Amino acid sequence: MTENALKPYVIGLDLGGTNSVFGIVDARGEIKATTAIKTGGYDKVEDYVAAAVAALQPIIDTMGGIEKIKAMGIGAPNGNYYTGTIEFAPNLPWAHNGVVPLAKLFSDALGGLPVALTNDANAAALGEMTYGVARGMKNFIDITLGTGVGSGIVINGQMVYGCDGFAGELGHVTMVRGEEGRPCGCGRKGCLEAYCSATGVARTAREFLEKSDEPSLLRDMKPEEITSFDVSVAASKGDALAKRVYDFTGEMLGAACADFAAFSSPEAFVFFGGLTKSGDLLMKPLKESYDKHVLKIFKGKAKFLISTLDGSSAAVLGASAVGWDL
């Protein structure tokens, strides 16, 4: 019998800034079982891994035990495919200050199971290329709009990792230079992530509210409690200030995508993550901004697609694809 027949499953982990979602996946890309834990709330990575393994054990048991698992693949912020480490991830309390050997820690905790790790946005891109709207595409950029802004770049059918495993940190291109740039979790100012992530949208809303007396449904909330979802709900009800927040966000993201087109000439931009649920509130100003800013030779070529994979499926499936390669 082949190894895949003896060990028919891999574990995929989508490790986000807020939630960690685990899936046990078969060779056809079907997620057979899932579980999840909160990513934060742990000061030490060892505590996080222990909680993760405790959550995993019941679903591993339902699939026939660890001997049925071939490997584990992880998609994580600032994940390094070459070394299996997470390095200085600003949104992870147990990894924002150094290098964490997460693949080895999981391998040790799971009895020596082979574990591979890649950037979370790269994992989402792999999921889209294998199972989603980018199936069959050789050149595209996957942009994840969640707690942060991540990206996975595929050129000529290959994921771009660069010399050190960190290529594709498009969320940290500088969009606003100088002191007026917003502080970013990475320690710099003016990054795309500080404006176009879900948390960035909420920050923009708070700034707009503070700088004007314009009536808004958002004024009924405590400023620190406003989320991007609240802004999208208000905008969908015709709230002019909330709509301007999305216009501002889409304008900046579209300008950034126009710059990205200059180096890889993608067939498509694929958008994934919670912020995409706002639909045309974001995508309409984004496309208009892209057309306004993009170099003429690239105009009208790229598609703008929203992931059709449910929830964290793209990232879980992408992470599992890394595991199948072991």
- Cα separation, 296 vs 290, in Å, equals 11
Q: What domains sit in the chain, N to C, each tagged with a CATH number? A: 3-126+312-324 (3.30.420.40), 136-306 (3.30.420.40)
- What pTM was computed for the model? 0.83
Closest CA to 116 of 86, 74, 70: 74
pLDDT tens for 66-92 read: 999 999 999 998 899 999 999 988 879
* Residue 2 reports pLDDT greater than 60: no
Which string of b and e fits 118-149 if b means at least 16 CB within 10 Å? bbbbbbbbbbbbbbbbbeebebbbbbbbbbbb
- Phi-psi category of 151—alpha, beta or left, where left has phi over 0 and alpha has psi -120 to 50? beta
Tokens of 224: 């620190």
Confidence bin at 312 (pLDDT 50/70/90): low
**Alpha-carbon distances, residue 286 vs 72, 88, 231, 318 (angstroms):** 36, 30, 17, 26
pLDDT tens for 92-105 read: 989 988 999 999 99
pLDDT tens for 201-238 read: 999 999 999 999 999 999 999 999 999 999 999 999 99
Contact of 109 with 123, CB cutoff 8 Å: no
Tokens of 168: 């594709």
